[in-house]
Amino acid sequence: MRILAVICAVVVGGASALYSPSSGVIDLTPANFQREVINSDEVWIVEFFAPWCGHCQQLVPEYQKAAQALKGVVKVGGVNADEHKSLAGQYGVRGFPTIKIFGLDKKKPEDYNGQRSAQGIVDAGLKAAREKVHAQLSGKKSGGGGSSGGSGNADDVLELTDSNFEKMVLKSDDMWLVEFFAPWCGHCRNLAPHWQKAATELKGKVKLGALDATVHTVMASRYGVQGYPTIKFFNKGDVEDYDGGRTASDIVAWANDKAAANVEPPEVKQIVDDESLDSACKEHPICIIAILPHILDCQSECRNDFISMLTKLGDKYKQKMWGWVWSEAMAQPDLEQALDIGGFGYPALAALNAKKMQFALLKGSFSDSGINEFLRDISFGRGRTAPVRGAKLPSVSKVEPWDGKDGALPEEEDIDLSDVDLDDVDETTKTEL
């Protein structure tokens, strides 16, 4: 019955396919998290989960039971962290399920490390509620997000006009969120501090601008602005309506998702010298190192198939901002030894954290599904790691970049026997014998 309940919970909608609307577990997303959790006066218990996670599925009945027991006392929510990666990243979620308690200070939620049972979760919720009541009784104020949107630098919101819009926004390589507003609009005034704070937080990622649509009517008309505020997303000629919330955290989460989605896919580069390895591994949080078979064992079509597969996986995980490189088998023996590559044959693959000098080695199949499963574990901080031998990246041998052609054995030199007297050879052989 327990297994059946878990299966039903996965099939039924609500809470991103793990909790039904009647479960008591509130579905939390980047669009409502600030409003429901951070800006509220209630104590919250929030589970960050992934629908495919077996431990999360096993927790479902206990978590639902806790939500029903705490109804009216402590709120219980769930975040599909597989779908809402920006929200999970904001709270440092690295594995599933992760449960956090948002109590007196909403900006500093506490990790729940108790038993994964309804009783354990209920006890933790009641403890947080008591602590909040006692703190408030002594005059301490809650550290919630507030409604003012916090502070930001007003200069980070760029002023847009009919005359500068095309140059600054439409011809820009940057991503833009643009607010079309009216000075007399109350909703626009309420949005202003949030827009300002979001602009400061997003600086360097996404630009935020504001255009007075009552003065600069040409651009407002071009983009069909009918009400205020209207927010649109611009990226290299593409225009999209903003459909997120109106708090700073909502805007930041929405923009971060867009920024991640529009990241260019990484190029899988060959390791030809120290610089090529350093740029992939030292300038990225993790680098994926593939060692492909020798060209005589795997000709150009075979090698290109491997590189194409790695390129597609790089595109799939591009939001992680990883570096991707490859080398021919035994072209970089010191690197292979440092990462224990080669013991299982070629092709081989490792994920390296150059900052910590730790790596994880692919033990499964070198295939799209096998590597994808390995990388998925890496992306959530799972999997066994080992220290790099020597605790540093070895120097890389300089090699010529692959020319894209098939390999060929070196031609054998013809030996000219025309000047050899075979009779003399026979006599010499007899004498030696």
Written as six digits, the tokens of 361 are 């080695």
Query: Is 287 an active-site residue?
Result: no
Spell 114-140 as b/e; 16+ CB within 10 A means b. Answer: eeeebebbbebbebbbeebeebeeeee
ω before 97 within 30° of 0 (cis)? yes
Spell 369-390 as b/e; 16+ CB within 10 A means b. Answer: eebbebbbebbbeebebeebee
Catalytic residue among 188, 281, 287, 298: 188
| Beta-sheet strand order (sheet of 98-102) | 26-28, 75-80, 44-49, 98-102, 110-111
C-alpha dihedral (365, 370, 375, 381), degrees to nearest 10? -80
Query: Is 302 an active-site residue?
Result: no
| Residues with Cβ within 8 Å of residue 189, at least 6 apart in sequence | none
Residue 327 amino acid letter: S
Rounded Cα distance, 193 and 11, in Å:
41
Written as six digits, the tokens of 115 are 């038993």
Rounded Cα distance, 406 and 300, in Å:
5
Query: Is 53 an active-site residue?
Result: yes
Compute CA 223 distance to the chain's CA centroid, rounded to the nearest angstrom.
Answer: 32
Catalytic residue among 8, 53, 281, 298: 53
- Phi first, then psi: what are they for 203, rounded to 5°? -55, 130
Catalytic residue among 56, 281, 287, 298: 56
Query: Is 298 an active-site residue?
Result: no
Rounded to whole angstroms, what are the CA distances from 295 to 24, 219, 303, 350?
59, 57, 8, 20
In the block, tokens 């090529």 appear at: 276
Closest CA to 323 of 291, 354, 367: 354
Q: Is 326 exposed, middle or buried (0-12, 13-18, 19+ CB in 10 A)?
A: buried
ω before 347 within 30° of 0 (cis)? yes
Rounded to whole angstroms, what are the CA distances from 372 to 22, 114, 344, 375, 396?
35, 32, 19, 5, 27
Residues assigned a catalytic role? 53, 56, 185, 188
